[in-house]
Structure 1
Amino acid sequence: MSFDGKQLRVAILGIYHESNTFIAKPTTLDDFRNSHWLMGDAIAREYRHAFHEIGGMLEVLEENNIKAVPVMYAEATPGGTVSAETYDTLLEEMMRGLEAILPVDGCLVVPHGAGVSEEFMDMDGHWLTQLRQRLGADMPIIGTLDPHANVSPAMTAATNALVAYSTNPHIDQRDTGKKAAALMVETLKGNIHPVQQLMQAPVAISIEQQFTSAEPCKSLYGLAREAAGQPGVLSVSILLGFPYADVPEMGSAFIVITDNDPPLCKRIGEELKDRLVSNRTDFVAEKHDIAALLPKMRNWAKPVLLLDMGDNVGGGSPGNSAYLLAAVESYRMPSCFICIYDPAAVAEALAHQPGETFSLSPGNVEGGYMQGTTAFTITVRLLMAADGKFSEDSPRHGGQVNFDMGKIAVVQTGGGNVIMLTSLRVPPFSLRQLTAFGIHPQHFNAVVAKGVNAPIAAYGPVCPTIVQVNTPGVTQADMTRFTYRHRRQPLFPFEQDIK
């Protein structure tokens, strides 16, 4: 597409992080380098065919003969607050890259929506505001959000339109990127004038109730789809929120985008807010402890997927909890699989040859199943060691293609359980994390995945029984057990009397 014979150009850029403020260890530049920090054409090479929002953006722009100009995309595995040095460096690199490719006719942005830095609690609002100030009030800035975003007024004020994924696990990221890019195309053509309304709701949704294919989310998303079909409505997004960030924006919200109709935005936003508030008690789930679950597991269809909610890597947890491993070992339940991030244990294992047995203290079991013990020692046999790189070519949560666990070691305990030890922290979003190394879930009675809903996209098809386990950790399911200093009030379930 062109004006006056000149091809239109649209920049693509993003700083993407889900920050857990209850983790003491900050997220650093190395965390971004070990994940995905890409510049220029490398962004298109990585994501052109991926089930990622950038892939969708590229597809739509190219179909409309608009030149996509990728600038920078930096993403790190969820973790602690982004250090000041890291954020300053990322912002400087992004703005420098932007300056090098200006002028452009529009800008597609890829924030997460739950980023927090040591300097700016609203990290995404800050960099989007900086972008708006540089590009000016007339430049269309349109982007995507993760539904776990804690959306601030600054984010929506700095952009023309933000569209969230509509699935959790997030398997519609590419489609969401296409929606954002289509809004950009129609805006540049002059066919639409998008305006958006942020409607924050006084409800924080329990993390285990954020599975969009089941109730209570299913009905809420159905209502949003109905609203999106009304004349003049361009998009309706549900933001489920991220409860592990102690920020003023923490909690659920809605973003309604119309074609230059602010009153319609507000009306739909208020309807959705009222529905959520009226049904707020449905969004608090019953918690299931492992001690109560283990006796029942023998009668369940195998393999059982045990979701370790307290050590949810996708929510920022370290991924090193041996809490569930200790439980199954103590209960003498054989043939379970678990992946644990523990570089020291990998180094210890690599000092041995396959087939050798040795003592190992993997991860930690903090939380009380073993009466408060923080480490336990077991005898293991080394099954294999490998370079932990693997790839995924199906739509999975996160939309990434290439993964790197660093050096890995796979060991088996005397109790018959298998542990994959990794040197780099990788969330369990892809079954290829196992199958690429000859490990198959159907060979186990249970598979532990350190997540809540995200692993279901990968593991659900091969695990007939799925159980969310209430485990201790920095992503424990009961958010009311955390101490918040900055959250808004009133906010259910912390306060019961809300409107």
Structure 2
Amino acid sequence: MKRILVADCKQEISSFNPLPSGYENFHIRRGAELYEQRGTNQELGGAFAVFEARPDIEIVPAIGARSGSAGILSAEGWKRLSDEILATIFAKLDGVDGIYFSMHGAMAAEGELDPEGYLLMKLRERVGPDMPIVISLDLHGILTDRMLRQVNGFTIYWTYPHVDFADTGRRAAELLLNIMDNNLRPVAARVVMPALVRGDELITKSGCYGDLLRDCRRLEEEGKALAAGIMIGNPFTDVPELCSQVLVITDGDRETAEREAVRLAEEFWPQRFRMQGKLISLDRAIAQARTMPGPLIFTDAADATSSGASGDSNAIIAALSSAGYDKKVLAPIVDAKAAAAAHAAGVGATIEVTLGGTVDPARFTPMKVTAKVKLLSDGEAVLETMKAPLSAGPTAVLTFGSFTVVVMSRSVSLFDRAMYYANGLDPLDFDLIVVKSPHTEYHMFEEWCEHNFNIDAPGSTSANLKSLGHTICARPMYPMEPDVTFSPQPVIYNLKG
């Protein structure tokens, strides 16, 4: 029997969210609790299916630590989390022959701007140079030099909006077994591109980014690469190695890895202009919305909680209210005080509260409303595609004028309709729906709305990247410096094992 240890650690942060996250943001699963992902569209679900199909493989489930996107992780939270993850893994290493570690790639903590690299470095120090380690990553992650020096292989999402979680875990598990069974000697080529990208061209089903990722997939399917991907980072995770990058792994074929990585980078670079957010001013969007029957989507990507934003932006609902927009509006917001007031008053009560500006008051001024409490809930929901749990804390549905607002105590990912559905609301019943995510799966909103307005609003995940104030990432960096030049400089890694 070959024993494979499995672990999971994920968080995506925005450095521009003023509220740090902590240990309490993480859902910790230990040992056999990781099997909760069996059969789900999650990385471990895909990996378990591969490992369990092999009678000669024994799985050693170690620990899973997942947090919704948020602000930078506090130093205290990181120390407690990293100590627990490493101690749990180290206690299970006896007799282990290989390791699969599911990661995100866009973590950052106070005092440690490469948390994934730290965990992998400490793991490598403990297991020595011969233990195969394979990781999987979100394409919005940052695969750092330190991470690459610890691992034998990696797999990266190929879809956005993301639907290939389990498939990425499957590919990682198959790559790990291939390395273990066949004594492969993986070599990786990495080409870093000084560009941050956003916008509709990143939708892999229809955008130019998807064309490039399909070529990465072709390289794997044809056997020319063990793994290939293009990571675009999370533009809001302001860390030293934030960038876009091409990564190609082959079995000892340095020439092919280098050639394909350079080719893909040269194809990506001229399209960086297209891969930027196309925004419309809020005033103009409202003016146009008045003349349209709808339903309409107002995308508030600047307050995208799935990218690390605070979720307490009231910019859109305040502007719609001031403009006298009188059609039915549905919107989410994070405001623990307002949710608590609603729970104290009870369903049917009328309360006077402020909405928004509780987490990021420098950007958002609290909005006074007199509202009716329509529904109260525990804020529990399940993501539509991943089937992963959401926990927004005490939640209330408040109505005032033509507005229906889902008020949550904590930020959760809002890249689908889960929180609306969990609180008895169907977006199809409204004329204008606020979506706090840059993109969603097509059938969720785009398929049935008349138009989706990508609003230029303030927020810690604004697609207007120049407005955020990066101070740590390498410069020059497009689009902050529009005239930056680029010449592919591949770096070769002879991966361990």
Asked whether the equivalents of residues 244 and 315 of structure 1 are also in contact (C-alpha less than 8 Å), the reply is: yes
In the other structure, the counterpart of 1:474 is 460
Provide the residue aligned with 1:51 in structure 2: 41
Cross-structure match for 1:72: 63
1:178 aligns with 2:170: yes
Query: Residue 79 of structure 2 aligns with which residue?
Result: 88
Equivalent position of 1:3 in the other structure: none
The counterpart of 1:160, out of the listed 138, 152, 161, is: 152
For the 8 Å contact 1:428–1:455, the answer to whether it is kept is: no
Q: Given the alignment of the two structures, is residue 224 of structure 1 paired with residue 216 of structure 2, yes or no?
A: yes
CA gap of 1:211–1:88, structure 2 versus 1, over 3 A, is same
Aligned residues: 482
Q: Give 1:24's match in structure 2, choosing from 18, 25, 37.
A: 18
Aligned residue in 2 for 1:4: none
Displacement of 1:341:
1.0
Match of 1:374 among 356, 365, 373: 365
Q: Indicate if the aligned counterparts of 1:340 and 1:421 stay in contact, CA closer than 8 A.
A: yes
Cα separation, 1, equivalents of 2:280 and 2:450: 18
The answer to whether structure 1 residue 63 and structure 2 residue 56 are counterparts is: no
Q: 1:149 aligns with which of 130, 136, 141?
A: 141
Contact residue 5 and residue 99 of structure 2 kept, 8 A: yes
**Alpha-carbon deviation of 1:25?**
2.4
Q: In structure 2, what is the equivalent of residue 416 of structure 1? A: 402
Superposed, 1:194-205 pairs within 5 Å as 194-205=186-197
Cα displacement string for residues 151-195 of structure 1 (whole angstroms, at most 9, x for unaligned residues): 211111111111111111111100110000011122221164433
The match for 1:360 among 353, 356, 362 is 353
Contact 2:7 2:62 in 1 (8 A): yes
SS for the counterpart of 1:270 is helix
How much has 1:229 moved relative to structure 2? 4.2
Partners of 1:486 and 1:74 in 2: CA distance? 26
- What's the offset of the Cα at 1:216? 2.9
Pairwise CA distance, 1:198: 2.1
Name the TM-score, length of structure 2 as normaliser.
0.91
Residue 202 of structure 2 contacts residue 210 of structure 2 at CA under 8 Å; is this kept in 1? Answer: no
Counterpart residue identity of residue 78, structure 2: Y
SS in 2 for 1:233: coil
Deviation (angstroms), 1:271:
0.7
Please say if residues 160 and 196 of structure 1, whose CA atoms lie closer than 8 Å, have aligned partners that are also in contact: no
**1:208 Cα deviation after fit:** 5.3
Paired residues of 2:315 and 2:364 also in contact (CA < 8 A): no
Q: CA deviation at 1:339?
A: 1.0
Distance 1:270 1:52, change over 3 A: same
**Distance in 2 (alpha carbons) for counterparts of 1:251 and 1:207:** 16
Q: 1:215 aligns with which of 191, 207, 219?
A: 207
Contact map agreement 1:303 1:446 (CA 8 A) in 2: yes
TM-score for both structures, normalised by structure 1: 0.91
What is the Cα deviation at residue 280 of structure 1? 2.2
Q: Secondary structure at the match of 1:337?
A: strand
- The answer on whether the counterparts of 2:305 and 2:412 sit within 8 Å (CA) in structure 1 is yes
> Once the 2 structures are TM-superposed, how far is the Cα of residue 294 of structure 1 from its aligned partner?
1.4
* 2:327 pairs with 1:344: no
Matched to 2:429, the amino acid is H
User: CA deviation digits over 1:58-96, x for unaligned, max 9?
Assistant: 111001121221111111111122122222222221222
2: CA distance, partners of 1:188 / 1:405? 42
Alpha-carbon distance between aligned partners in 2 of 1:293 and 1:112, rounded to the nearest angstrom: 34
Structure 1 unaligned residues grouped into runs of 5+: 1-6
Query: Which amino acid in 2 is paired with 1:168?
Result: Y
In 2, distance between residues paired with 1:231 and 1:49? 27
**Is the CA contact 2:159–2:210 (under 8 Å) kept in the aligned structure 1?**
no
Deviating above 6 A after TM superposition, structure 1's stretches of 4 or more consecutive aligned residues are 365-368
Map of 1:453 onto structure 2: 439
Residues 439-478 of structure 1, C-alpha deviation per residue, up to 9 Å, x if partnerless?
A: 1111100111211124656444554532321110111111
2:379 alignment partner in structure 1 = 388
The 3-state SS of whatever aligns with 1:104 is coil
SS at match of 2:379: strand
Shift of 1:292: 0.7
Corresponding residue number in structure 1 for 2:485:
498
- Deviations 1:253-294 (Å, cap 9, x if unpaired)? 111111221221111111111111222221223321221111
User: Structure 2 vs 1, CA of residues 237 and 373 (structure 1 numbering), >3 Å: closer, same or farther?
Assistant: closer
Contact persistence 1:335–1:444 (CA under 8 A): yes
Report if aligned partners of 1:256, 1:269 keep a CA contact under 8 Å in 2: yes
**What is the one-letter code of the residue matched to 1:152?**
T
Deviation larger for 358-367 or 299-308: 358-367
Q: What is the aligned partner in structure 2 of residue 332 from structure 1?
A: 324
Secondary structure of 2:274's match?
helix
Q: Deviations over 1:9-46 (max 9, x none)?
A: 111113211122222322111111xxx2111111112x
Paired position in structure 1 for 2:97? 105
Alignment of 1:107-122 (within 5 A): 107-122=99-114
- Gap change, CA 1:90 and 1:457, over 3 Å in 2: farther
Using the alignment, how far apart are the partners of 1:365 and 1:60 within structure 2? 45
Greater CA deviation, 240-249 or 349-358? 349-358
Q: Which amino acid aligns with 2:73?
A: V
Alignment partner of 1:351: what SS? helix
Shift of 1:374: 1.1
Query: Percentage identity across aligned positions?
Result: 26
Question: Would you say the 8 A contact 2:397–2:423 is kept in 1?
Answer: no
